[in-house]
Amino acid sequence: MSNDLIENNGSYSMDIEDLENKIVKHNCKLFMLCNPHNPSGRYWTEQELKDLGKVLLKHDMIVLSDEIHSDFVWGGKKHISLLKAVPELKERMIICQSPSKTFNIAVIQVANIIIPNKNIRERFIGFKKSAGYDELNIFALVSCMAAYTKGEEWYRCMKSYVYDNILYADSIIKPMHEVNMAVPEATYLLWLDFRNTGLSADEIENKLLNEAGVWFNRGEMFGKKGEGFFRMNVACPRKTLEDVMNRLKNTFK
């Protein structure tokens, strides 16, 4: 079940009232938070998280917080975990993090699942074992340790490079009429708005694939309100990005 965000001129906010109504109506027990938010690129402020936490505490919700993009926060801000904003949720939280996005090592499939509550943690471990996927390989373990203990300089350089890519993409899109975007507050993903084209999602995708020669994630994969949007990853070499942006500009002038 989706608790859709509220869109306002390219910016998004939580719909707390809708969330509480759905919790009550459907007797929900688990809430899944994306922090920072993918695909909108929203950085949730401490006050927003506190407002959210009040509702979650009121209805005794278990909370799974996906924080895999927490290392990609822009504008001099620091990531705020829901647990830090609302420590009263500690015994009801499952926090998911990973070095995979930050250090580009997703292929080794390693993650950090932080579960303070012993009973919830033991249940999680039981389900994990039943899936037959409960042991790290040696490459994953060593890579994770190396990333966290030796990767600071690389991380800072990478983060600066990626943010420059975001600004470059924005400079190309700003003059375009048919495509819009808001510079993300977090993540390396652009939420491109093609609704001004007047085309359907299928028609937009056809132009992207067969005229521009590029492929982006369709917005509908994130919910019905994503129709007309496409998600683009700019964590790539600048030369690749320049080629993509030129193709996009020449197709949607």
Note the pLDDT tens digit of each residue in 40-54. Answer: 999 999 999 999 999
CA angle 189, 22, 61 (to 5 degrees): 80
Distance between CA atoms of 226 and 205, rounded to whole angstroms?
14
- Confidence check: pLDDT of 253 > 90: no
Q: What is the assigned CATH class of domain 152-251? A: alpha beta
Q: Where are the domains of the chain?
A: 6-150, 152-251
Contact yes or no for 65/93 (Cβ under 8 A): yes
Q: What values do phi and psi take at 115, rounded to 5?
A: -130, 95
Phi, psi of 44, deg, nearest 5: -80, 125
Q: What pLDDT is recorded for position 65? A: 98
What pLDDT shows up at residue 1? Answer: 84
Other residues' Cβ atoms within 10 Å of the Cβ of residue 208: 22
How many Cα atoms occupy the beta-carbon half-sphere of 74 within 13 Å?
19
Tokens in use for 109?
A: 């499939």
Name the residue type at position 147: A
Q: Are 241 and 165 in contact (CB under 8 A)?
A: yes
Chain-centroid distance of CA 62 in Å reads 20
For the chain, list the strands marked E by DSSP.
6-8, 11-13, 30-34, 62-66, 93-97, 112-114, 189-193, 217-218, 229-233
Predicted confidence at residue 39, as pLDDT, reads 97
Q: By three-state DSSP, how is residue 66 classified?
A: strand
Confidence class for position 232, pLDDT limits 50, 70, 90: very high
Amino acid type, 23: I
Note whether 37 and 186 are within 8 A (CB).
yes
How confident is the model over 69-115, as pLDDT tens digits?
Answer: 999 999 999 999 999 999 999 999 999 999 999 999 998 889 999 99
Res. 202: pLDDT tops 80:
yes
Confidence of residue 210 (pLDDT cuts 50, 70, 90): very high
CB 180 within 8 A of CB 199: no
Same fold yes or no, 6-150 and 152-251: no
E strand or H helix at 15: none
Which one of 3.40.640.10, 3.60.130.10, 3.30.1360.120, 3.40.50.12780 gives the CATH number of domain 6-150? 3.40.640.10
Looking only at the bridges linking them, the beta strands covering 11-13 and 112-114 are: unpaired
Task: Compute the C-alpha angle 123/129/132, nearest 5°.
Answer: 150
Spatial separation of the C-alpha atoms in residues 119 and 248, rounded to whole Å = 51
Query: At 83, which helix (H) or strand (E)?
Result: helix 82-85
Task: Please give the structure tokens belonging to residue 160.
Answer: 């600066």
